[in-house]
Amino acid sequence: MDFEPWWLIFVPVLFALGWLAARFDIRQMLRETRSLPDSYFRGLNFLLNEQPDRAIDAFVEVAKLDPETTELHFALGSLFRRRGEMERAIRVHQSLLSRSDLPAAEREHAQHELAQDFLKAGMLDRAESGFEQLKDTRYALPALRSLIRIFESEHDWPRAIEAVKTLQGLVDEPVPQIVHYYCEQALTALTSKPADIDAAHKALDAADHALSTTDVSVSKGAMVRTAMLRARLALMEQDPKRERLYLESVMTDAPEYAGLVAEQLLANYRAANQVEAGLDFLQKQYQRHASLDLFNVVFRELRVQQGSAVAWAFARGALRSHPSLLGLDRLLEAELTNPEAGAGQPGAEQGPVPGADLTLLRSLIHKHTQRLDRYACRSCGFQARRFYWQCPGCNAWETYAPRRLEELE
């Protein structure tokens, strides 16, 4: 196609149209800018100058002057909640809910935010009521998860179980903590006075059923806990054979949890006058799957049943195969409790070096190992001397490895 000179007339026309459009956009922007309160710009200036507290005060003033700024209200409410200023967060979200002209979608949003405020403030009754009102809204799923957290904190296991069942109907994902809810019910029944044996059986049957429909790789800890409670129930029913069966199943199916059941299993053998067989079983278990908790049980019982020389021989071999400061700390503690533990035994290495200042040595080692003699949550890092099925720090289930920090490091 050939160029026609008269086409040049469109150039100034297009330029004029672009200039007019730019003028219109600038005027529109200026009108919108003039309509913003001065507090808005002061807030931005404070943010740029890294003065967040003064910025918040300025934005609060904006929200008061212009109640239509709902997004600013939501932003301020969330910011107050993150900063722990729960009263201010609650007031912001309540002021939104008090507006009769608030659209339904934003009203649901405000209700969800307010319920979260109550939850973080520890006002569980009001939080529960707020989340209950969201069951038929687009916030149904997060509200249900929050209700489960509330029921857990209140130890209301029946309602927690029903809520998890509802959750399973909404999302296609395993919820392994339901097994722990049944275990908590069984534990409550067993520790009540008098113990409710029938209720414990019923709860553990439900736990076994839940295990059969849950991914076992996710619920290994729940499986172990169920077996441990079955063993405890068998002990209360004076059925030592069944108790031993459940405890040994933990050793076989989940050897990493052996330290949690070793003491009870040894007591079972002792009650049957088979302590030597029990010790032999635990020693073989230690050779296959060494752990500090198992080492402690075996070493302590060997000293009682077979004497210090045998116990020291076991300890030396164990520490050579699996060096451990915690193991050495236990060894020195036993020696200081019974100074004749390693003295006078055949062979120069049967006991500690004569004349060694074991008190000072043990003191130095013990001070260092106190930090290592703990269980740790894989989720939040919360450390504790005892093993928990639910972390006291973040409330997550099965996040504690059944091994001490030294073994994990």
Binding residue ranges for Fe cation: 377, 380, 391, 394
| Amino acid type, 149 | R
d(CA 121, CA 331): 48
Answer for the pair 188, 200: CB distance below 8 angstroms, yes or no.
no
Q: How many CA atoms lie within 13 A of 98 on its CB side?
A: 8
Cβ atoms of 267 and 305 closer than 8 Å: no
Instruction: Give the separation between CA 143 and CA 273, rounded to whole angstroms.
Output: 55
Mind spelling out the 3-state secondary structure of 114-142? HHHHHHHCCCHHHHHHHHHCCCCCCCHHH
Is 196 buried (19+), middle (13-18) or exposed (0-12) by CB count in 10 A? middle
- Between CA 297 and CA 384 the distance in angstroms is 20
Would you list which residues are annotated within the binding site? 377, 380, 391, 394
